[in-house]
Chain A
């Protein structure tokens, strides 16, 4: 029989769970089963985090000037942090969210505070790490994600939200990007791990956050977000139209991202496009080297990538065009559609582009996505 913690009110030091159903006894000590996928923690355990201090003075350099809106927001985030207040930022895709937190990161690191930049997606961590290393000077960045966990101590950690279980009441400044992304969105366990890792204050950023203190509705280059066109067509005609669109973009050397709702669908679309001599590759969670595929698309070695929602965020490809197939599929939530549309026009040299959603009917999510983008552009 399960020996539950009936008498005492217990609390897991890792995930803060206090539901007695998740506690189990081993030799008279109780451990939490709710967060055991991260590590086993006994309720009487005192969790400690390895610290590594660094007294280096860091600075950053950008190849472009921040817009007045970005500068203003950057200053307000710094003030909030100095006052020990939390901040929630809503900024449209391509608004330059990462750059607006550079100032507050610099200030915190120079004050010898511990800083963490976290996001739910592993692909974004690698890209973010490279970006920070490039833009900052004299900085020591520790990247922590699944399969890259040998070194977990440092003054500045960039990690996936899953790795936050390693840190307990550690960070004076915690920055989280893409709060609305899977698997963080709606996951109580990851949310608990996020809050228990914070010692000071946090900055939450996303493109679709309903609750926000600060908003950034314009992209850094000042051009509006591309409004998606929703075309309600039966499957066969939609497929023909898709091929026509990609051939047109191919003739103008425009790379394309084709979003499909399931992994199974990627292969069938690839086979269809191969009939028309369109060079394409597929990307989904089971494909190991997605970064290489993106690099090849940027280098125009492929005409398009057929992908699941894996590439919905964090990807910047110059002059990219986007097609969404089966847009009425439940996979496409409002947040997902907004992020997908946000892939287009992120570069200053190519601020525009096309986003087409092929669907059998216009869903509530598609309508809301179009309205949200129009509202942000207004």
Chain B
């Protein structure tokens, strides 16, 4: 049977993709259905970490959490194509000249999975990837009580590749921003032309708004008294 005879199905919910008649689907042939695409809740606004521009694609909602768990926890490699389905063509153009620096992940987990989750996602939009930032010793980020100590747990190798390059730091989820800040600290001595950050999701994007008083998100959260967000840099 030839591949073109087969009907595609959504990577997340296995629904047939032939049913999608949205213009976006017809033009870009995303590997997930419109229903799943809409469940990725996009963020809006400008964000930054250590005065470096930060792009947060989605809110860390229940749907994102579930898909990320299936990808990283259940080792479903196929889902690497699901996260950027909506942004792929834009990211390919926008970061064509960038060197993508991958946030470090746990080696034992990667060895069990057979793939590095962040690296597999980054490969969907670029081939210019730097994986020289690693953990000095094994630790689980979620079990760290003082997250700012992450900077002491990371090291950089072959940093010369970063000289004069446009650097894009890529991570899946940003929570406190400690890992990203530690990575920026390791990258800056190599004097890159510029540093930008791209993360897939954050549960509190308003934390990273450049001016919290002017941020609509912050004001909305403050008005609703949902959670006081602490500015971290």
Query: Chain B nearest CB: distance from A14 CB in Å?
Result: 13
Minimal Cβ-Cβ distance residue in B for A42: B114
Q: Tell me, in angstroms, the Cα distance from A62 to B86 when the chains sit together.
A: 63
Contacts of B76 in A (CB 8 A): 24, 33, 36, 40
Q: Tell me, in angstroms, the Cα distance from A4 to B78 when the chains sit together.
A: 11
Contact B9–A21 (Cβ < 8 Å): yes
Query: Chain B nearest CB: distance from A189 CB in Å?
Result: 11
Q: Is A20 located at the chain interface by the 8 A CB criterion?
A: yes
CB within 8 Å of A: which of B42-90? 70, 74-78, 81
Proximity string of chain A (1-40) to chain B, C-beta cutoff 8 Å, 1 when within and 0 when not: 0101010000000000000111010110001010011011
Q: Tell me, in angstroms, the Cα distance from A246 to B78 when the chains sit together.
A: 54
Contact B74–A21 (Cβ < 8 Å): no
Minimal Cβ-Cβ distance residue in A for B31: A2
Main SS of chain B's interface residues? loop
Contacts of B31 in A (CB 8 A): 2
Contact B115–A26 (Cβ < 8 Å): yes
Q: Is B2 located at the chain interface by the 8 A CB criterion?
A: yes
Contact A33–B78 (Cβ < 8 Å): yes
Contacts of B77 in A (CB 8 A): 24, 26, 31
Minimal Cβ-Cβ distance residue in A for B112: A40
Main SS of chain A's interface residues? loop
Minimal Cβ-Cβ distance residue in B for A21: B9
CB within 8 Å of A: which of B116-165? none
Query: Chain A nearest CB: distance from B7 CB in Å?
Result: 8
Whether A24 touches B9, Cβ cut-off 8 Å, given contacts A6-B3, A36-B70, is no
Number of interface residues of A (CB under 8 A): 15
Minimal Cβ-Cβ distance residue in A for B74: A36
Contacts of B70 in A (CB 8 A): 36-37
Number of interface residues of B (CB under 8 A): 19
Contacts of A6 in B (CB 8 A): 1-3, 6
Query: Chain B nearest CB: distance from A141 CB in Å?
Result: 29
Contact B114–A4 (Cβ < 8 Å): no
Q: Tell me, in angstroms, the Cα distance from A41 to B8 when the chains sit together.
A: 22
Contacts of A4 in B (CB 8 A): 3, 6
Contact A27–B114 (Cβ < 8 Å): yes
Contacts of A27 in B (CB 8 A): 114-115
Q: Tell me, in angstroms, the Cα distance from A27 to B77 when the chains sit together.
A: 10
The one of A2, A22, A24, A26 in contact with B8, judged by C-beta atoms closer than 8 angstroms, is: A2
Minimal Cβ-Cβ distance residue in A for B29: A1
Q: Tell me, in angstroms, the Cα distance from A36 to B115 when the chains sit together.
A: 16
Q: Tell me, in angstroms, the Cα distance from A6 to B3 when the chains sit together.
A: 7
Q: Tell me, in angstroms, the Cα distance from A86 to B12 when the chains sit together.
A: 37
Minimal Cβ-Cβ distance residue in A for B120: A26
The winner among B9, B75, B78 for most chain A CB atoms within 10 A is B78
Between A and B, 18 residue pairs with Cβ closer than 8 Å are A2-B8, A2-B11, A2-B31, A2-B78, A2-B81, A4-B3, A4-B6, A6-B3, A21-B14, A24-B77, A26-B77, A27-B114, A27-B115, A31-B77, A33-B78, A36-B70, A37-B70, A40-B74
| Residues in A lying within 8 Å of B, measured CB to CB | 2, 4, 6, 20-22, 24, 26-27, 31, 33, 36-37, 39-40
Besides the contacts A6-B3, A26-B77, A33-B78, what 16 more A-B pairs have beta carbons closer than 8 Å? A2-B8, A2-B11, A2-B81, A4-B6, A6-B1, A20-B1, A21-B6, A24-B77, A24-B78, A26-B114, A26-B115, A27-B114, A36-B74, A36-B75, A36-B76, A40-B76
Instruction: List 10 A-B pairs, minimum CB-CB distance, nearest first.
Output: A24-B78, A26-B77, A40-B75, A36-B76, A36-B74, A21-B9, A26-B114, A6-B3, A6-B1, A33-B78
